Amino acid sequence: MIAIELRGINKSFGPVHANKNVALNIERGTIHGIIGENGAGKSTLMSILYGFYQADSGDILINGEITKIHGSDEAIAAGIGMVHQHFMLVDPFTVVENVMLGAEGGALLDKGIDKTREELERLKREYGLKVPVDALAGELPVGLQQRVEILKALYRGAQILILDEPTGVLTPQETDQLFRILNALKEQGVTVILITHKLQEIMAVTDGVSVMRGGEMVAHRKTRETSKEELAELMVGRKVLLKVDKEEAQPKDAALTVENLSVISADGVARLDNVSFSVRRGEIVGVAGVSGNGQSELLAALSGIVKPSKGSISINGTTVTAEAPLDAAAFRDLGVGHVPEDRHRMGLVTAFTADESAILGYHRDETFNGPILMKRAAITEDCAQKMADFDVRPPTPGLKSANFSGGNQQKIVLAREMARKPKVLLVGQPTRGVDIGAIEYIHKNLVAMRDAGAAVLLVSVELEEIMSLSDRILVMFEGRIVGEVDAKDANERMLGLMMANANPETESAASQEPIEEERNLGAEA
């Protein structure tokens, strides 16, 4: 039985044809993946299904019947629920209040609250969706917030659940849990649509998958009959190397040495707690960790944005301490390049033209400056060269930075930071929000930097990226480095446990018997 059928959906925003004649069939009680690069039209399509936009033409059929969806309320009435990428929760509301919002069941709240509690209890029994119902939504960890979003949809009787990039903020363990929940929903006959750009997730959890490219549906596949490689090729429209192609590292002497480095914030919390490590020329050291465990502070301290509170940083023999700090410009002069984690906030000025963004931090350089005025022609020419080197599209130095896609913005930042051949290159989240084609390109360039003898420190929340690029991996938890592994020996499970600060070695060594015991206890009970 077909739960959802889309026929000939078209949608344009001005000159942009976001959905071209899209057709889709999804069986009831299956998990269906939709993949595509940024701007392929996945989100637009789902927004149409959830009533945020109306299609210019085409039909939506729910359970075989043509259904017109003019707004989110009508989508909800048709049994469609959506878990948005950015959660739609009211932070100071309790879980109960969040769940009942929009479905209060009467003008007064009293009865609705009781009914919602009962309903949440039932959903907990049926699907194993446990949440603290009286906690404030804003105080829950992201994994639970997402669960509240799922509960919101189920409470409204959703039979079709759309999840938009649900795993971006989750740890590997939370992701596993989410997938278990999705499978439980599937068992109960719920149809799940999973929008993602992570091929691995498609392979792990879906039954069928549809690929979008440039606003069109380019392929439908049964998951077990396809492969990551095929899907990547369908997404990008050409062959893509998923594995990073690199030689064994040939590390030399240390270019960056960090000793007992601490950064203590104004409210007295140690954001970075007694961290020591070094990065040698010709190697990539990856820093893994759940976002917010001190990685940002580490990058800030190593690039001179934040002064160290304790400890020292040595770069090519120059030592920076809390007593003798240097600013970011001085760090650049020492040969530190920095690709910031958040390119919109720190990487470039979106209101500037590309050529202006491409000289930020190096804008005092004599090549760009005359006696009074800046040399516009030199700036433009420099940017044109960088754009050619890094395949930035469109190669228009005069275009506003905001008008480039995420991948191309990132290429501009990388080009800027790599152009000076830095001895130490700090890279934060280099491929966040970047298309798979551009990811391949960025990864290739980072490896080339390494081979040219730079010491590269890579911070990323994407474990796959860390594992495929790094030669050594450090794991951070609550401002400390809780583990170091050779990339050859690393696997996702082990890193995931370290990221949650559950030591994998002690656990695997000492856990055999306790687990047995637990099982016995469980059996007796």
Partner 1 sequence: MDEFFILVVSTLDATIRVAAPLVLAALAGLYAERSGVIDIGLEGKMLAAAFAAAAASFVMDSAWAGLLAGVSISVILALIHGFACITHKGNQVVSGVAINILVAGLTVTLGIAWFAQGGQTPSLTNDARFSPLIWPGAQAVKDVPFIGGLYTEIISGHNLLAYVAYLAVPLTWWVVYRTRFGLRLRAVGENPAAVDTAGISVTALRYQAMICCGFLCGIAGTYLSTAQNAGFVKNMTAGQGFIALAAMIFGKWKPVPAMMACLLFGFLDAVANRIQGVSMPLVGEIPVQLIQALPYILTVILLAGFIGKAVAPKASGIPYVKER
Question: Helices 436-451 and 228-236, interaxial angle, to 10°?
Answer: 100
Smallest distance from partner 1 to CB 90, Å: 5
The answer to whether residues 391 and 441 touch, using CB atoms and an 8 Å cutoff, is yes
Nearer to partner 1, 164 or 201 (CB): 164
362 binds partner 1 (CB under 8 A): no
- Window of 95-103, 179-187, 367-375, 404-412 that interacts with partner 1 by CB under 8 A: 95-103
Smallest distance from partner 1 to CB 49, Å: 13
Nearer to partner 1, 74 or 233 (CB): 74
d(CA 243, CA 232): 12
Among 37, 97, 119, 297, binds partner 1 (CB under 8 A): 97
Which residues face 12 on adjacent strands?
A: 17
d(CA 258, CA 285): 13
DSSP string, 395-459: --TTSBGGGS-HHHHHHHHHHHHHHT--SEEEEESTTTT--HHHHHHHHHHHHHHHHTT-EEEEE
Smallest distance from partner 1 to CB 86, Å: 8
Nearer to partner 1, 128 or 157 (CB): 157
89 binds partner 1 (CB under 8 A): yes
Q: Residue 223 — φ and ψ, nearest 5°?
A: -60, -40
Distance spanning both ends of the chain, measured CA to CA: 41
157 binds partner 1 (CB under 8 A): no
Among 20, 23, 30, 52, binds partner 1 (CB under 8 A): 52
The contact mask relative to partner 1 for 112-131 (x = CB under 8 A, - = no) is x-------------------
Nearer to partner 1, 75 or 346 (CB): 75
Interface size with partner 1, residues (CB under 8 A): 32
- Window of 93-101, 127-135, 181-189, 242-250 that interacts with partner 1 by CB under 8 A: 93-101
The answer to whether residues 135 and 95 touch, using CB atoms and an 8 Å cutoff, is yes
Among 54, 56, 64, 73, binds partner 1 (CB under 8 A): 73
The answer to whether residues 409 and 301 touch, using CB atoms and an 8 Å cutoff, is no
Provide CB contacts within 8 A for 201, sequence distance 6+: 33, 167, 175, 179, 194
d(CA 430, CA 439): 8
520 binds partner 1 (CB under 8 A): no
76 binds partner 1 (CB under 8 A): yes
Looking up tokens 């609550």 gives 478
Among 56, 91, 245, 342, binds partner 1 (CB under 8 A): 91
Strands 31-36 and 208-213: parallel
Please name which of 473, 409, 475 lies closest in space to residue 442, comparing C-alpha atoms: 409
Q: Residue 493 — φ and ψ, nearest 5°?
A: -65, -45
Nearer to partner 1, 11 or 271 (CB): 11
Within 10 A of 141 (CB to CB), how many other CB atoms are there? 13
- Window of 33-41, 76-84, 182-190, 201-209 that interacts with partner 1 by CB under 8 A: 76-84
**SS3 for 102?**
coil
Among 10, 21, 72, 314, binds partner 1 (CB under 8 A): 72
For 88, 109, 147, 203, 245, the CA distances from 92, given in Å and listed in that order, are 12, 17, 17, 37, 48
Smallest distance from partner 1 to CB 53, Å: 9
Looking up tokens 């929903």 gives 185
349 binds partner 1 (CB under 8 A): no
Smallest distance from partner 1 to CB 202, Å: 25
Among 27, 104, 391, 492, binds partner 1 (CB under 8 A): 104
Among 61, 101, 203, 264, binds partner 1 (CB under 8 A): 101
Among 103, 135, 254, 399, binds partner 1 (CB under 8 A): 103
Helix (H) or strand (E) holding 114: helix 109-127
Nearer to partner 1, 81 or 294 (CB): 81
DSSP-assigned letter for residue 303:
T
- Window of 1-9, 87-95, 330-338, 348-356 that interacts with partner 1 by CB under 8 A: 87-95
- Half-sphere exposure of 288 toward its Cβ, with a 13 Å CA cutoff? 34
Nearer to partner 1, 157 or 237 (CB): 157
Among 1, 107, 373, 525, binds partner 1 (CB under 8 A): 107
71 binds partner 1 (CB under 8 A): yes
Smallest distance from partner 1 to CB 189, Å: 23
299 binds partner 1 (CB under 8 A): no
98 binds partner 1 (CB under 8 A): yes
Smallest distance from partner 1 to CB 73, Å: 3
Question: Helices 172-187 and 142-155, interaxial angle, to 10°?
Answer: 20
**SS3 for 314?**
strand
Which residues face 206 on adjacent strands?
A: none
110 binds partner 1 (CB under 8 A): yes
Q: Which residues bind partner 1 (CB under 8 A)?
A: 13, 50, 52, 71-76, 82, 84, 86, 88-93, 97-98, 100-104, 106-110, 112, 152
